[in-house]
Each structure stands twice: as structure tokens, then as C-alpha cells.
């Protein structure tokens, strides 16, 4: 019996560290940022410094907007309402999403805006502008494994949603979401990298949320900032929008590129591609 115990202790002594169970940073992150919600919802009031590109003779010119808003979220719900001032008019938008449907009213719309299945899926990472919760829950539900190239600082989880490559970076030191990157195609700008960086973590109850989010868009050429003003846990979700009878998300429409030619002189012609032409940016070849 003593010989058997000695043999077992010797075997256990030579187990390499790599054979030990790896730390599940994704589960630990979910526990801290979603697991303590119970039947409640995280409600955050925020201010936003928003910059958008516009058509200009000078490249990368931006229009600036100050936005105020609120969002509510849990593992399977996300709702947001915000307002901004444009040309002395106050415009507002609403978004309401659960596990089955997406309802959306854009700034200049009086009724529901049309949504597609792709828009519904993309909210998983587009909502990362305000909170990483939806993406954390998505990665856990879909059993996304950490990349082999995860380093000493971050556990990195990569997933493709529709045509976008999304990466979630979880900081190993505290098991909180540090940043999210998305690589998506744009008809005018090509492959565009967006980075959402989370800082100044705070808690409401025992749920962690980032109080400051910086957004680098268009591969870092445009920068926005979202700052949480107040956060609390609530037991009831507000009803922001009502689905119309026969609600259904549309299938994405295939883009049909129409070429418009313009005679400049005997040897030069301009070719405009319609999707970029409609944006007012006049992409010419």
C-alpha cells in the first residue's frame, strides 16, 4: 500500500503546468459583468462625443455631435434611446432587441425603420460601443475558445459574425473586458478596423461596467467617446417600441452596382459606382 501511494505521488509530481486545467477567463468575465444581474437589468445614462464623416473637398472632414442617452441590458436584452441636436433640431432614436427580434427607429424616421437579419446579428458587436455585455454573452453561448495566440495580458476570443471579424480581449489580471475590435468591409473605405476600449470600471451592486469607452473608427482616423453618467440596476425593462402586426426581419438585399460614366475630355472619362455615389462621396475611377 505504501509503495502504491509513493508511485501515485511521484506521478502527480511530474504533471506539467500545461496539463493543469486552464483558466476560463470568458466564464469569469461573464460572472463579473453579467452573472450577478439575476433578474435585474443594468441601466446606464451616458453622454457621447460623436463624430461622423461628411462629403467635403478635404478628406476626412467630420461633423461633431453631442449625444445623451440611456441603455438597458442583460444577457438576452438590449434597449437604447438617445437624442442629439442637428441644425437646431433635437433628433432621437430608439432600439429594442431581445433574443428573437430587433425594433429600430432612426433619427429622422417617424415610424419603425426596416431591419434585416444581418442588422439583428450585427447588434451583438455594434452594441459594444456602449457595453461589452452582449458580445461576452454571445461568446459564452457559442462556446468560443480563446485564441492560441492569447498573451500574458489578454485572453482573446475571435468570432466571425456575418462578414465582420470580431475580437473580444479579456484582461487576465482582473477578468474584465478590456477592448473589442471589429474588422468590417465598407464600400467606400475598404476593410475598416474599429476599436472599442473600456476603462474606468465601476460597479452597481456587484455588476461591473466600464464608465469610459473610447472608440477608434475608420482604422483610427475618427475618435468618439462615451462616458457613463449614472448606473443602476432596475427590475423592469421599458417598452420603447411596439412591433407592427406581421413583424418580420427582411432578408439582406444583394447590392447591384450601377456604373455612371461622365465624359471629361477626349482621353479621360470618369466612372462613378452607384453605392458610393449615393453617399455623396463620388468615388471615381
Its sign, for the CA torsion 253, 52, 79, 28, is positive
| 3-state DSSP of the chain | CHHHHHHHHHHHHCCCHHHCCCCCHHHHHHHHHHHCCCCCEEEEEEEEEEEEECCCCCCCCEEEEEEEEEEEECCCCEEEEEEEEECCEEEEEEEEECCCCEEEECCCCCCCCCCEHHHHHHHHHHHHHCCCHHHHHHHHHCCCCECCCCCCCEEEEEEEECCEEEEEEEECCCCEEEEEEEEEEECCCEEEEEEEEEEEEEEECCEEEEEEEEEEECCCCEEEEEEEEEEEEECCCCCCCCCCCCCCCECCCCCCCCEEEEECCCCCEEEEEHHHHHCCCCCEC
**CA quadruple 106, 109, 112, 117: dihedral positive or negative?**
negative
Q: Which three cell numbers stand for residue 128?
A: 459594444
Mean pLDDT, the chain, rounded, equals: 87
Span 203-227, mean pLDDT?
96
The reported pTM is 0.82
Q: What is the pLDDT of residues 33-73, one digit of tens each?
A: 999 999 999 999 999 999 998 877 788 899 999 999 999 99
Residue 282's pLDDT band, with cuts at 50, 70 and 90, is very low
- Answer with the residue of higher pLDDT: 83 or 281: 83
Cβ contact 245:229 at 8 Å:
no
d(CA 85, CA 66): 7
Q: Which of 167-176, 213-222, 231-240, 264-273 has the lowest mean pLDDT?
A: 264-273
| Structural domains of the chain ordered from first start | 21-234 (2.50.20.10), 255-285 (no CATH)
**What pLDDT, on the 0 to 100 scale, is given for residue 214?**
98
pLDDT of 115 > 60? The answer is: yes
N-term to C-term CA, the chain: 84
Amino acid at each position: 500500500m505504501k509503495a502504491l501511494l509513493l508511485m501515485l505521488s511521484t506521478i502527480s509530481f511530474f504533471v506539467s503546468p500545461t496539463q493543469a486545467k486552464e483558466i476560463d477567463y470568458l466564464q469569469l468575465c461573464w460572472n463579473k459583468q453579467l452573472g450577478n444581474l439575476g433578474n435585474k437589468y443594468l441601466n446606464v445614462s451616458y453622454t457621447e462625443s460623436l463624430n461622423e464623416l461628411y462629403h467635403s473637398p478635404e478628406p476626412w472632414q467630420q461633423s461633431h455631435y453631442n449625444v445623451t442617452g440611456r441603455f438597458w441590458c442583460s444577457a438576452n436584452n438590449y434597449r437604447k434611446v438617445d437624442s442629439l441636436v442637428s441644425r437646431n433640431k433635437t433628433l432621437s432614436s430608439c432600439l429594442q432587441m431581445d433574443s428573437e427580434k430587433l425594433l429600430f427607429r432612426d433619427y429622422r424616421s417617424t415610424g419603425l425603420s426596416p431591419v434585416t437579419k444581418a442588422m439583428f446579428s450585427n447588434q451583438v458587436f455594434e452594441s459594444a460601443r456602449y457595453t461589452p455585455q452582449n458580445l461576452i454573452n454571445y461568446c459564452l453561448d457559442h462556446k468560443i475558445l480563446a485564441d492560441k495566440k492569447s498573451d500574458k495580458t489578454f485572453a482573446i476570443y475571435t468570432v466571425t459574425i456575418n462578414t465582420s471579424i470580431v475580437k473580444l480581449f479579456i484582461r487576465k489580471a482582473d477578468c474584465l473586458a478590456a477592448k473589442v475590435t471589429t474588422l468590417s468591409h465598407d464600400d467606400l473605405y475598404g476593410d475598416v478596423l474599429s476599436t472599442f476600449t473600456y476603462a474606468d470600471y465601476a460597479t452597481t451592486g456587484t455588476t461591473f461596467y466600464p464608465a469610459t469607452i473610447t472608440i477608434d473608427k475608420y482604422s483610427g482616423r475618427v475618435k468618439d467617446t462615451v462616458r457613463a453618467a449614472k448606473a443602476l440596476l432596475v427590475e423592469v425593462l421599458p417598452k420603447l417600441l411596439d412591433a407592427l402586426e406581421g413583424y418580420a426581419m427582411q432578408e439582406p438585399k444583394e447590392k447591384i452596382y450601377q456604373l455612371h460614366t461622365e465624359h471629361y475630355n477626349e482621353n479621360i472619362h470618369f466612372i462613378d459606382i452607384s453605392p458610393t455615389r449615393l453617399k455623396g462621396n463620388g468615388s471615381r475611377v
